[in-house]
Structure 1
Amino acid sequence: MNSHHLLLEEPIRMASILEPSKSTFFAAMTKIVGTLGPKSRTVEIISGCLNAGMSVARFDFSWGDAEYHQETIDNLKTAVKSTKKLCAVMLDTVGPELQVVNKTEHPISLQADTSVVLTPDQAKEATSNLLPINFTGLSKAVKKGDTIFIGQYLFTGSETTSVWLEVISTWGVRNNIDFLSLSYTRHAEDVRQAREFLSKLGDLCQTQIFAKIENIEGLTHFDEILQEADGIILSRGNLGIDLPPEKGLTPLIKILTTSTQR
């Protein structure tokens, strides 16, 4: 298969897209990962992103269903053919963060200076004063005085680990994803388990795993995570929730320095 045919017909399976570009007048040493969302999923918009330098298209499965994202990746393939630009695919799934089980379609509003009870009893209805969660071991995982943040990822509650494994084994296999973004990576074992799962899927045995460092636990075990993962993604927004502002910069500098020296 010649390179021209590969360019048009096989836009996926190209982990080498992240390798440094050949020397040019304007050498591009940094690759651009673009998230394809509601306002950036048409063929026209994606083509513009490719022409502007997007190297990897990220599909965020923390929202939207498989059918929605399939339409988007089909548009990506069309854009790749029309622009003759290579683009790899990254699948980003929800990690092991705790989720509030809200079985109603109504939003939950929390009031300042009020008490909220977190319960593992998922049969209870979520209210502004009672939040069922998908974790039975919370009482053993926290101690008196600990701070619990309730933010953007704690409102759907419909997803489970098995659902996300199914997304990888169905949508991921069908579209031959190049990279798996492992959200909320806490230690090296998370990466090893993900790699073992991918190895059983045949077509995804060469898919690279990018560990997302998003909390203190991930920072604590960063060195061991770096040894297992193919790449590191720093979620500065989520880290900013777990770390005091005055302590946030030092570990980030260390991570960047260690990663580039790997």
Structure 2
Amino acid sequence: MNPHLNLEENMKLASVLQPSKPSFFPAMTKIIGTLGPKSRSVEIISNCLKAGMSVARFDFSWGDIDYHQETLDNLKIAVKSTKKLCGVMLDTVGPELQVINKKENPISLQEDSFVVLTPDLDKEATSCLLPINFTGLATAVKKGDTIFIGQYLFTGSETTSVWLEVTEISGEDVVCLIKNSATLSGLLYTLHVSQIHINLPTLTDKDKEVISSWGVRNNIDILSLSYTRDAEDVRHARKFLSKLGDLYQTQIFAKIENVEGINSF
């Protein structure tokens, strides 16, 4: 290591956009912490900052603007009390396919049974029927394709996500064979079909509304662009940020979450 470099303990916690002093050894790796229901109090955020969190992620796939603003206000208090700087990341929803469970009741799915995925959002979610927020699934998949549903990416070793195999296309509905028993529960279920193109914009109308209001108000450091498929998605996001004035310097982090993104990496 260069003996002339002045290493300081807190340099790794510098804001992601604040230039390092010439005497600093730049810390390239950042620790990003998602602030959610169990990690939004001043006390817990302060402990995260002391432990090394350098970027706070606000996930707008759930929760409203007021909820996340309260969390951010707590972050500001924690930053002042700990004297640890922290970047602010707005994570977009993007073209995320979601199962809509209006009543938020746990849904039990049994192995070797069948379940229908439907774009009819007027129907209630049950063990036999799952409404989804996408009308084009029936034309995008074919018999034998695999679909994963859960709060997180399926691992095969837990029971909160389910693996489905497409067996039939019926109009706009997709009939699937359930490959493992699971119970879907919690705030959000996402649907992953990695091999197909989802004909939805990378920045949804909801994303643009959140960025234009919450993002501008809080001068966010980073926009985390969900389901980035190619460079054009990034260019589109940059153009949108530039129009907002105050966010022209906001960094864009492209999230590679599907085959299209990998192929264009």
Q: Per the alignment, in what secondary structure is the counterpart of residue 109 of structure 1?
A: strand
CA contact (8 A) 2:151 2:190 kept: no
Rounded Cα–Cα distance in structure 1 between residues aligned with 2:51 and 2:104? 39
For residue 99 of structure 2, give the secondary structure of its aligned residue in structure 1.
coil
Which of 7, 15, 26 lines up with 2:17 in the alignment?
15
Q: 1:155 aligns with which of 186, 189, 192?
A: 189
Q: Which amino acid aligns with 2:29?
A: T
Counterparts of 1:140 and 1:19 in 2: how far apart (Å)? 55
| Aligned ranges 1:186-197 → 2 under 5 Å | 186-197=229-240
In 2 relative to 1, CA 58–109 (structure 1 residues): closer, same or farther, beyond 3 Å? Answer: same
Deviation for aligned residue 1:18 = 8.8
Structure 1 residues 17, 96: closer, same or farther in 2, change over 3 A? farther
Q: Is the 8 A contact 2:60 2:92 kept in 1?
A: yes
Work out whether residues 216 and 244 of structure 2, in 8 Å CA contact, stay in contact via their aligned partners in 1.
yes
Distance 2:78 2:239 in 1: 33
Query: Letter of the aligned partner of 1:155 in structure 2?
Result: Y
Deviation of 1:28 (Å): 4.4
Q: CA RMSD in A?
A: 3.0
Q: Which runs of 4+ in 1 moved over 6 A?
A: 17-21
* TM-superposed deviation, 1:217: 2.0
**Which deviations, in whole Å up to 9, do the C-alpha atoms of 1:210-250 show, x marking residues without a partner?**
0111122211111xxxxxxxxxxxxxxxxxxxxxxxxxxxx
Instruction: Note the 1:75-224 alignment, pairs <5 A.
Output: 75-152=74-151, 155=189, 161-222=204-265
Aligned mates of 2:261, 2:21 — CA distance in 1: 26
Q: C-alpha offsets along residues 64-95 of structure 1, whole Å, 9 cap, x if unaligned?
A: 22222111111111222222222110011222
Q: Is the 8 A contact 1:100 1:156 kept in 2?
A: yes
The verdict on how the C-alpha distance between 1:201 and 1:117 changes in structure 2, with shifts beyond 3 A counting, is same
Q: Is the 8 A contact 1:17 1:55 kept in 2?
A: no
Distance in 2 between residues matched to 1:112 and 1:201, nearest whole Å: 49
Per-residue displacement from partner, 1:182-224 (whole Å, max 9, x unpaired)? 11212222222222221221211221110111122211111xx
The CA distance in 2 between the partners of 1:18 and 1:89, in whole Å, is 18
Equivalent pair of 1:46/1:76 in contact (CA under 8 Å): yes
Quote how far apart the aligned CAs of 1:177 are. 0.4
- Contiguous gaps of at least 5 residues in structure 2: 1-13, 153-187, 192-202
Q: Offset at 1:58?
A: 1.2
Residue of structure 2 equivalent to 1:246 = none
- Larger deviation, residues 46-55 vs 192-201: 46-55
Unpaired stretches in structure 1, ≥5 consecutive residues: 1-11, 223-262
TM-score normalised to the size of structure 2?
0.68
Instruction: Report % sequence identity.
Output: 77
- Deviation for aligned residue 1:13: 8.1
Aligned residue pairs total 207
**With structure 1 as the length reference, what TM-score do the two structures score?**
0.69
Counterpart residue type for residue 239 of structure 2: E
Cα distance between partner residues in 2 of 1:51 and 1:17 = 21
Amino acid in structure 2 at the alignment position of 1:219: I
